[in-house]
Amino acid sequence: MRQLRLGMVGGGEGAFIGAVHRIAARIDGRFSLLAGALSSDPARARSSADALGLARSYGSFEEMARAEAAHPEGIEAVAIVTPNHMHYPIARAFLENGIHVICDKPLTATLAQAEELAEVAAASEALFVLTHTYAGYPMIREARRLVREGAIGKVRLVHAEYVQDWLAKAGTSRQAEWRADPARSGAGGAIADIGSHAAHLVRYVSHLPIESVSAELSTFVPGRLVDDNAQVLMRLGNARGMLWATQVASGYENDIRLRVIGDAGSLEWRHADPNRLRFGGLGAPETILTRGGAGFQGAARVPAGHPEGYLEAFASIYSDAADAILAGKMPKHLPGIQDGVDGMRFIEACIGSSRANGVWTQV
Ligand SMILES: NC(=O)c1ccc[n+]([C@@H]2O[C@H](COP(=O)([O-])OP(=O)(O)OC[C@H]3O[C@@H](n4cnc5c(N)ncnc54)[C@H](O)[C@@H]3O)[C@@H](O)[C@H]2O)c1
């Protein structure tokens, strides 16, 4: 299959998620990284591009979007891995030049930007993919299928947790610094940074929209300008849900759990044990579903019993993006612009609810 020409904005030396995107894009060999504006600092952008052996390096994303669109062998897609406030202008520049966008979450810094970007995406020939990593896990996709096919009956309860401790103290790393600055992270802290992933998992697996929320966002670290702990009650049609996103849970590195409970059974998934999915039928003994089990229909790269993890899940998002670009159409299971708008609606509804002392707020 033909490799797609990829560019990257952000992800220079010392950055976190850009390197993960590069590995994910390489795993299935569907992309070739050719060009980048890898840093906000032009000198660092150049040295980072040299270190990676990129064919073309730019000092700014504006210059890159224009030059690549005009280049006979220009990039077909761009990965955006900058802090949140830059997603909107960068995505807009590439979409307007007809270049497909693979952007990290949350979609933008504000809901207003997200809605504008959705209009730009709708007017563009180019596709928009949002890297909600956890939607790439085989057992998450299996859970989504099982719920859709009625394996647990009608969904009653959804419970999602995304629990970390890396911001339990005031952080000095560049990643901690911009995440605590509302001008760069947006108004949300933990609710945006990891709550957006948890809310996406809720919607993705339950197939239910989050209609309204009652939220309490807290800030435990003195002087921090954004929330670092979010507790949210959710109404999803007749179903009810709870979401807890925290970055101050000392002793928890990165614990993600999802429970979806229907009137006939339940499913439970944990990021720490991602190749197993607990299924409990009402009145039946619990069972553990794996990639090797009868009926498994999800994607897998290695034989059952051999663990797959974070990088493979990320790679599935990239490979699905490659399929979508070649087909010219987004498949339903691949997170896109509407998932990003829904995520921003959720974040802003939680912030609004919390400011109003937990009043139920429409999403
Ligand atoms: N999908 C996931 O699981 C996941 C995990 C971590 C981070 N993220 C998201 O990825 C994004 C980046 O997070 P990070 O932790 O890697 O941040 P980071 O601070 O490590 O890296 C950000 C990079 O963007 C560059 N940058 C900033 N402004 C730029 C500009 N105008 N032009 C070019 N480059 C610019 C910086 O120089 C840096 O290289 C955030 O939106 C974050 O929410 C997603």
Q: How many domains does the chain have?
A: 2
Full pLDDT tens readout for the chain, 363 residues: 799 999 999 999 999 999 999 999 999 999 999 999 999 999 999 999 999 999 999 999 999 999 999 999 999 999 999 999 999 999 999 999 999 999 999 999 999 999 999 999 999 999 999 999 999 999 999 999 999 999 999 999 999 999 999 999 997 899 999 999 999 999 999 999 999 999 999 999 999 999 999 999 999 999 999 999 999 999 999 999 999 999 999 999 999 999 999 999 999 999 999 999 999 999 999 999 999 987 887 778 888 899 999 999 999 999 999 999 999 999 999 999 999 999 999 999 999 999 999 999 999
Question: Could you identify the atom of ligand 1 that is nearest to the CA of residue 134?
Answer: 3
Whether residue 99 is found in the same domain as residue 217: no
**Domain contains 330:** no
- Is the CB of residue 254 below 6 angstroms from any atom belonging to ligand 1? no
Stretch (H or E) spanning 159: strand 155-164
Residue 285 has a pLDDT of 94
Whether residue 108 is found in the same domain as residue 167: no
Residue 290 has a pLDDT of 95
Domain that holds residue 210: 139-302+337-362
Whether residue 201 is found in the same domain as residue 118: no
- Is the CB of residue 83 below 6 angstroms from any atom belonging to ligand 1? yes
CA distance 61 to 114: 19
The closest residue, in CA terms, to atom 30 on ligand 1 is 40
Tokens standing for residue 36:
């980048």
Ligand 1 centroid to Cα of residue 82, in Å, is 3
- Is the CB of residue 94 below 6 angstroms from any atom belonging to ligand 1? no
Contact 130, 336 (CB under 8 A): yes
Tokens standing for residue 264:
């006939």
Rg (CA), the chain: 20
Whether residue 195 is found in the same domain as residue 286: yes
Positive or negative: CA dihedral 138, 144, 146, 152: positive
Question: Could you identify the atom of ligand 1 that is nearest to the CA of residue 12?
Answer: 39
CA distance 346 to 322: 28
Residue 66 has a pLDDT of 98
CA distance 209 to 203: 6
Q: Any idea what the CATH number is for the domain that residue 14 is in?
A: 3.40.50.720
Tokens standing for residue 352:
């609004």
- Is the CB of residue 37 below 6 angstroms from any atom belonging to ligand 1? yes
Tokens standing for residue 128:
């928009």
**Domain contains 314:** no
Contact 106, 347 (CB under 8 A): yes
- Which of 92, 126, 160 is the last residue in one of the domains? 126
- Is the CB of residue 82 below 6 angstroms from any atom belonging to ligand 1? yes
Ligand 1 centroid to Cα of residue 13, in Å, is 11
Whether residue 198 is found in the same domain as residue 347: yes
Positive or negative: CA dihedral 262, 265, 270, 274: negative
State how far the alpha carbon of 25 is from the alpha carbons of 42, 332, 347, in Å: 24, 20, 29
